[in-house]
Structure 1
Amino acid sequence: MIDQTTLITYVAIVIGFVFIPGPATVLTVARATTSGTRVGLATGLGIAVGDVIHTALAVLGISAIILASAFLFSLIKYLGAAYLVYLGIRAIFEKAPANTAGSQSIRLTPGEAFRQGILAEVLNPKTAMFFLAFLPQFVKPENGSVFLQLTTLGIILMALGLTSTVIFALCAGSVGGFLKRNPTVVKWQGRVVGSIYCALGVRLAFQER
């Protein structure tokens, strides 16, 4: 069982981490502003599932194997980068819907957003490295099962991360509904969001181990 002092310290650090805008936040906000709050929430949920997968991989030691292999690390990194660039190009060339005031047309279904959120998070080796390097710092063998401690820490991180993306999605969804009433915003929205995706993909591709 994790002691109270360690748990409080861990939660405080994670809260500060998850509420600092990063790739997951950008992806969630972009989806919420372009396709609505439900799609933003689905994206955040998909990212949370991706974090659960990373937790399982870290606990089982598979992440260590991947990170020990330069080839596997690079393979996953470039797959993740390519996927983000693909989403960006798709958003840039996608035709804007002919919305009128009060229109509820959405450009992406929650199911699609959910799957994309999972893939974008799972295919990010930096997330795997974070889980592998960060979680063990709060594990103490004298507190019992290391496996249980790592699992608990991973679940807490996932839950707090999901909370932050939900908040960002709700706020962005409201702003997006307002912005869609402006034809100029509708015209350029996909290009801006697509450029963000491409930039995230390029950034991931050039990140070092």
Structure 2
Amino acid sequence: MVSTASVIGIALVALGMVLTPGPNMIYLVSRSITQGVRAGLVSLLGVATGFACYLAAAVVGLTAVFTLVPALYTVLKLAGAAYLLYLAWQAIRPGGRSPFEPEPLPPDGPWRLYTMGLVTNLLNPKIAVLYVSLLPQFVDPERGHIALQNLILGGTQITVAMIGNTLITLTAGSLAVFLARRPAWMRVQRAFMATVLGGLAVKMAADRSRAAAVTP
């Protein structure tokens, strides 16, 4: 149904996005450091709900869009490649701020923690672009069952994202201390993620096979 290469590809994209600083990481780290791990995990439940909303929209909507407007596939592919290059630059640009420098956040109750996690993810441009532009690049129309492919690939992305974000939430305090004392490690991590994201962007932009496959 879904090729192994597609599953590995979306897993790498998901890993790159989890480890690249963005709204979700900054919020979860800040919340975990300032209010404790439990508050971070409650916030993470909201983030998970946001992922589920995006996945549902992808499964229901993208299949119809690509059937009606095949040329949109190429546009989304190029937009996705450009966004990956942007993330790669953000990872290595001079003067980038570490997400492990927490934002000052007032203590909140469980419901507000959950809601803020949900809203942060729903308004996260990284996740929006991932589902609208990047996820479709790993769907192969020739294999059929496009909605099911979206479901499997989206499930892979959510699994990787949740494992990564859970580990970040649980270790936020320790990582903040570790990286503050060893800034070279942060530079290595950012360089590695920039390489992964940049490589995927080039491969995506150069691949014409699937764009042709979508065209009737």
TM-score bucket of the superposed structures, by smaller chain: 0.5 to 0.7
Alignment CA distance shift 1:108-1:144 (3 Å): same
Contact residue 24 and residue 124 of structure 2 kept, 8 A:
no
User: In structure 1, what residue type is equivalent to 2:61?
Assistant: G
CA-to-aligned-CA distance 1:116-139 (integer Å, 9 cap, x gap): 111221234553233110111000
Unaligned runs of 5+ in 2: 66-103, 178-216
Aligned-residue offset at 1:23: 1.1
Aligned-residue offset at 1:158: 1.3
Contact residue 39 and residue 113 of structure 1 kept, 8 A:
yes
After TM superposition, the structure 1 = structure 2 runs for residues 139-150 of structure 1, keeping only pairs within 5 Å, are 139-150=139-150
Contact residue 41 and residue 165 of structure 1 kept, 8 A:
no
Partner of 1:172: 172
Aligned-residue offset at 1:10: 2.4
User: In structure 1, what residue type is equivalent to 2:109?
Assistant: T
CA-to-aligned-CA distance 1:3-58 (integer Å, 9 cap, x gap): 11222222223222222221100000000011100111121221121011011112
Between the aligned residues of both structures, percent identity stands at 33
Contact residue 50 and residue 121 of structure 1 kept, 8 A:
yes
After TM superposition, the structure 1 = structure 2 runs for residues 27-46 of structure 1, keeping only pairs within 5 Å, are 27-46=27-46
Residues matched between the structures, number: 138
Partner of 2:162: 162
Unaligned runs of 5+ in 1: 65-90, 95-106, 179-209
Partner of 2:109: 109
Alignment CA distance shift 1:169-1:126 (3 Å): closer
Does 2:6 align with 1:16?
no
Secondary structure of 2:117 counterpart: helix
Instruction: Please give the root-mean-square deviation of Cα atoms over the aligned residues, in Å.
Output: 2.6
Partner of 2:196: none
Contact residue 45 and residue 114 of structure 1 kept, 8 A:
yes
